[in-house]
A and B are shown apart, each in its own frame.
Chain A
Amino acid sequence: MSSKINHHHQNDKTNGQIFPQPCPHLADFHARNGTKPFRAIQDCLHIKPPGGRAAIRRDSSEVPRCGVCGDSSCPRLYACMACAAVSCHVPPHSSHVAIHATKTSSACSHEIAVDVDRAELFCCACRDQVYDRDFDAAVVLAHTTSIIQSSKPENLRKRRRIDYRPWSPDLRERSLMVNNASPIDSMSSSNGDLPRGLRGLNNLGNTCFMNSVLQALFHTPPLRNYFLSDRHNRYYCQSKNGVRLCLACDLDTMFSAIFCGDRMPYSPAKFLYSWWRHASNLASYEQQDAHEFFISMLDGIHEKVEKDQHKPRRNGDCCIAHRVFSGILRSDVMCMACGFTSTTFDPCVDFSLDLEPNQGSSMKTSSTKTNHSCNCEADGMNSSQNCGISTLMGCLDRFTRPERLGSDQKFFCQQCQVRQESLKQMSIRKLPLVSCFHIKRFEHSSVRKMSRKVDRYLQFPLSLDMAPYLSSSILRSRFGNRFFPFDGDESNTLNEPSSEFELFAVVTHTGKLDAGHYVTYLRLSNKWYKCDDAWITEVNENTVRAAQGYMMFYVQKMLYYKASEKQGTS
């Protein structure tokens, strides 16, 4: 049926992104029309509210119709790029656009057309969609505002990635190691003992909220590596800055204690005292919220470092807490009256997700968005379980879904110069090394003057691909089929391994809002361990799956080395 098979649309990789070579007709169009062949179309690009899709219209109220048969209800109407004639395309019945293309002469080529409702290029000779960077650039430009978009967030200045080079000590380093360190006994699994780094934490009076988060942090790979490789030496820090409050020093103390091999439960009293001094409003023997503690602790680590080194928060490089946990969220607010979109970028150290039931209808099958390993034992269970069971992916879908800001939350539109109803959409601009997902299970309503806990079960996967929630994916689906990179982002995120994450810790909460208990499950060498204050036991994976997840920690599967400006420790 198709006559185009003679020439293949070869794919060309630029910066890891697959970019199709133009068909001969598109290449010819380019050749004939100079450097900015699609410049004229830019004036005809209109963003149609309420969805914000790009359409081609000569004026905003134009009703396009086929120049030959007058049909305006045809689902595919194309405008010729050479003469702007609009024709319909209803294969296999009739294609007036194909007939129009035959008018091509040596003087003028009528082979390239644009879909008026989707702003996508079509080659009438090849009878197929074609892609062009300049055209996509024009479409994206029509969508985005010049004010905010032009300033790319600082934190994304790309640093060169370098390849891993294995290290082996030279003579000097070897003698340093031999003289100043003692060898660790190799782990003997026959011993039946727990792996190194697992040590119970005594409850000092309703401190399970702290113990649970600490256990997760002790086994957060980048954080653990940082402290165990002596990147924050407490003796050095105190000698340089004096003996004073430094949460990082206290963490360093704890890491040494946890990984030294002693199996007796450890009492993090000194750390608790330090943290109380940092977060004095939370200093009491009452039960606190584990997530609040987590945020407060990261903030504490950052504050001290910032004071010492006067590094502003940039690129997440200010302190180890941000280097590990901070990512960037993108927020787009689109005016539903005129389509004008305002974009802002905000850093974040975790993702707080609402927990609502999944309202899947009988049509819903396992999502084709990702290939994440399903939480169920048999695939057959998946489709029935998808109706009504909340999943982490479902929460993330909801998080990145366009949300209608109600009439009481009208947003000031710069183009309309008046408050309008808008559509807001969140997406992830930069993924952190470690993603912490916090499920909002504790609802505090100031209106009803009560708090309640949401006990609903949440299914979470062991492996997670965050690609569909990235800004590039979200924007791609909003803009349609484009190849133009967004925000100068040259990477093809769908193929990049750095959007794949592995679960390594789950903090769970059982009980009521005011009388509950936190427990952490850790995943080490594919075995699961339950850390319940001072008691650590190995458990079955199914126990973890069935638990009520409150905070889930995922680490990037692949970590890259970045070229560093300076040598040595930071």
Chain B
Amino acid sequence: MSLRNSVNRPPTPDAVEDQEKEPTLQEIINIKMIESGEKEKLMELLRERLVECGWKDEMKALCRAYIKKKGTNNVTVDDLVHVITPKGRASIPDSIKTELLLRIRAFLASAAL
């Protein structure tokens, strides 16, 4: 892992080149999705679905309950993320997972990956 020599030097965009790493398939897909704008579209779709089914409201309620328990000044955003992430991941409806997987699969087919 290489560290910067001077703190004031702006970073070069391709800082990873000295690591000589082959990009994994996952990384390639991620980059292709970002570049084509598909990732942002899927994010919007996901947000819409999670609001519709009430998942967002549930997470909000969980956060509020946690903050109430701990006290407003004793909670950081990291705490909240740590606490609700497992519950959040577990409570996503299967229909939403399926829909997104289908979309991603369709994208992969169209991008000929």
Question: Interface residues, chain A, CB within 8 Å of chain B?
Answer: 1-2, 4-5, 8-9, 48-51, 61-63, 65, 67-70, 72-73, 82-86, 91-92, 103, 105, 107-108, 110, 122, 126-129, 359-361, 363-365, 367-369
Q: How far is the CA of A363 from the CA of B10 in the complex (A)?
A: 47
**Cα of A409 to Cα of B54 in the assembled complex, Å:** 30
Binding site for A on B (CB under 8 A): 1, 4, 7-11, 13, 15-16, 19, 21, 26-27, 30-31, 34-35, 37, 40-41, 43-44, 47, 52-55, 57-58, 60-61, 64, 73-74, 76-79, 81-82, 91, 93
Cβ contacts under 8 Å, A82 to chain B: 7
> Cβ of B77 and Cβ of A105 under 8 Å apart?
no
From A9, A84, A128, A364, B10 is in contact (CB under 8 Å) with A84
| Residues A105 and B93 in contact, CB atoms below 8 Å apart | no
CA distance A9 to B73 in the complex (A): 6
A63, A70, A86, A359: the one contacting B34 at CB < 8 Å is A63
Task: Choose from B27, B47, B74, B93 the contact partner of A73 (Cβ within 8 Å).
Answer: B27
Chain B interface mostly: helix
Pair B82/A92 contact, Cβ less than 8 Å: yes
* A361 with B35, Cβ < 8 A, contacts A67-B15, A128-B77 known: no
Report the bound CA distance from A120 to B2 in whole Å. Answer: 28
A51 B82 Cβ-Cβ under 8 A: no
B54 and A364 within 8 A (CB): yes
In the bound complex, residues from chain B placing their C-beta under 8 Å from that of A4 are 76
User: A129 and B27: CB pair below 8 A?
Assistant: no
A61 contact set on B, CB distance < 8 A: 35
Main secondary structure, interface of A, reads: loop
Neighbouring A residues of B30 by C-beta, 8 Å: 72-73
A360 to B54, CA, bound (A): 8
With most chain B CB atoms within 10 A of its CB, the pick from A72, A105, A110, A360 is: A72
Q: How distant is the Cα of A365 from the Cα of B57 in the complex, in angstroms?
A: 9
CA gap between A360 and B57 in the complex, in Å: 13
B43 touches A51 (CB 8 A): yes
Q: Measured between alpha carbons, how far is A70 from B4 in the docked complex, in Å?
A: 14
Residues of B within 8 A of A363 (CB): 53-55, 58, 91, 93
Would you call A83 and B10 a contact (CB within 8 A)? Answer: yes
CB pair A103–B7 under 8 Å, yes or no, is yes
**Interchain Cβ contacts under 8 Å between A and B, 30 examples:** A1-B78, A51-B43, A51-B44, A61-B35, A63-B31, A63-B34, A63-B35, A65-B16, A72-B34, A73-B27, A73-B30, A83-B8, A91-B78, A105-B7, A108-B7, A127-B77, A127-B78, A128-B77, A128-B78, A129-B77, A361-B52, A361-B53, A361-B54, A361-B93, A363-B54, A363-B55, A363-B58, A364-B54, A365-B54, A365-B58
